[in-house]
Amino acid sequence: MEIAFEPYSKVTFQSCLPYESVEAFAEVYSFTNPPGIPFQAKFFWANGILFRFFNHSPSEALGKELLKGHLVFDHIEFAPMPEYKKELKIPERPMGTIVVLDVSKHAVFDPLTAWIRKYLLKK
């Protein structure tokens, strides 16, 4: 049996939305949920970047790109978060929690967030 790890050779995203702070990012997300209703969300963290991403709807064209080693995201949102935290609470929406997953060793998210940190974060 042959086993092979073939990482993506290219990652593309069509749009992005940077936030100046974790608080601003979490607050915008939390306000999409009605007050007084419990909610939980999942964000990701690597290289000092808190982020979430959105995929395109599956299609034959995207499938072909994936087979060629090209991963295409529709949209990425991110904010600087130097220290990893397991979860974020939003004071304005106390019934909500944002769970943060550490993906710093992920084969795609580690280089992606390093690139975002280098090219897209305001200095």
If phi over 0 gives left and psi between -120 and 50 gives alpha, with beta otherwise, what is residue 108? Answer: alpha
For the chain, which residues make up each domain, given as ranges?
A: 10-119
Q: Over its length of 123 residues, how does the chain's per-residue pLDDT go in tens digits?
A: 999 999 999 999 999 999 999 999 999 998 888 888 899 999 999 999 999 999 999 999 999 999 999 999 999 999 999 999 999 988 888 888 999 999 999 999 999 999 999 999 986
